[in-house]
Amino acid sequence: MHAQVGIIGAGPAGLMLARLLQLNGISCVVLESRSQAYVESRVRAGLLEQGSVDLMTQTGLDARMRREWMVHDGTEYIAGGQRAHVDMWDLIQRRIYIYGQQEVVKDMIAVNTAAGVPVLFEAEAREIGGLDTDRPWIRYLHRGMEQTLTCDFIAGCDGFHGIARPAIPDAIRRDYVRDYPFGWLGILADAPPTLPELIYCQNEERGFALFTMRSPKVSRCYLQVPPYEDEANWSDDRIWHELSLRLGKHEGIALSTGTITQKSVTPMRSFVSEPMRHGRLFLAGDAAHIVPPTGAKGMNLAISDVYVLSRALTEFYKTGATTRFDSYTGTCLRRVWGAQHFSWWMTSMMHNLPDESAFDRKRQLAELRAVLGSRAGRTFLAENYAGLPLEM
């Protein structure tokens, strides 16, 4: 089998790239190691930046999203017992949108399939090669048979543990890693959101908490915990009690509780791999970078990567030019490192560090007050939270 572009991974990056290519008359095949049911049910990110929403609208992926999303003009912050509101619409005339990643993936699969794009599930990519030739290939296992997909280019959208990134030789590749000394205990609960907007809490004594949502009837909440905490140690009653303590008492806020349907602990990490291109192989999304979820950038970075890549591929097939190929890594990394900085900044500003001193705690609180108490500070936060341009 041959396609102009072979895409490994049917997450938001791979599926958005497939849609963009199909709209520009470029053939592709998407290989996904998991089943369709698994891909459509895994709970991941749930916040879309303005640029991501605009691109989904332009590519016809927005019909169900517009019926079901939750549109937010701002976010709430609680620190040092004080409450502040960052009104993104007032500050920068942009918004954020709550729509679960699994829902985004469902929509992308449906639209791609209807358009005739081959999306092969339970097709495990096992080896790639020919990256320095004009006919790279992917060997994959599908329905018990080993098969080979030849293509002009390969897009590695297969996540942190995929095979694409390791295909870049060690002598060329450089990885940048920061592991954080805490994780997030995340829950899904059948409970209305505590507020119509997200609440970021920095409790000086107990640590970070985040109150968000997946729908008007489903809450998604997080607690800062040690990085390898066992979720079995956290009963439902303990979780709700701790969320209540970290939230504190504030006029107009009442913690919404309900049946917890899912809980898990995720370690926190910042990661970037450079370069994002080697020969005919291009990395996108989690295959190239991971951000701590404090800044809500993961899915949005994946979408911006493939937007840049699709423009490079379109330019090549229409004109033969390789200018955008040559600048792919630099273009993507400007946005990636900007998002890394913002995510690190939000993480370090909102979490308690195990080895920090009393001075560090007071300095952290002063930083939060300085940011939230200044229109300039709130504007910087709003610009980054609502999302930088897809291509910088």
Catalytic residue among 99, 180, 200, 328: 200
- How do strand 199-203 and strand 207-215 relate by DSSP bridges? antiparallel
Catalytic residue among 99, 180, 317, 385: 385
Instruction: Tell me how far apart the alpha carbons of residues 192 and 295 are, in angstroms, rounded to a whole number.
Output: 23
Instruction: Tell me how far apart the alpha carbons of residues 15 and 306 are, in angstroms, rounded to a whole number.
Output: 9
Catalytic residue among 263, 278, 289, 297: 297
**Amino acid at residue number 342:** F
Strand-pairing partners, residue 30, are: 7, 119
User: Which residues neighbour 257 within 8 Å (Cβ) at sequence distance 6 or greater?
Assistant: 189, 191, 240
Instruction: Tell me how far apart the alpha carbons of residues 148 and 260 are, in angstroms, rounded to a whole number.
Output: 44
Residue 301 corresponds to which tokens in the numbers above? 């970075």
* Secondary structure string (H, E, C) spanning 241-290: HHHHHHHCCECCECCCCCEEEEEEEEEEEEEEEECCEECCEEECHHHCEE
Q: Is residue 152 within 8 Å of 320, Cβ to Cβ?
A: no
- Please confirm, yes or no, whether 217 is among the known catalytic residues: no
Instruction: Tell me how far apart the alpha carbons of residues 78 and 2 are, in angstroms, rounded to a whole number.
Output: 54
Instruction: Tell me how far apart the alpha carbons of residues 294 and 347 are, in angstroms, rounded to a whole number.
Output: 6
- Please confirm, yes or no, whether 293 is among the known catalytic residues: yes
Catalytic residue among 293, 307, 317, 328: 293
- Please confirm, yes or no, whether 38 is among the known catalytic residues: no
Residue 67 corresponds to which tokens in the numbers above? 């019926």
Residues annotated as catalytic are 72, 200, 293, 297, 385
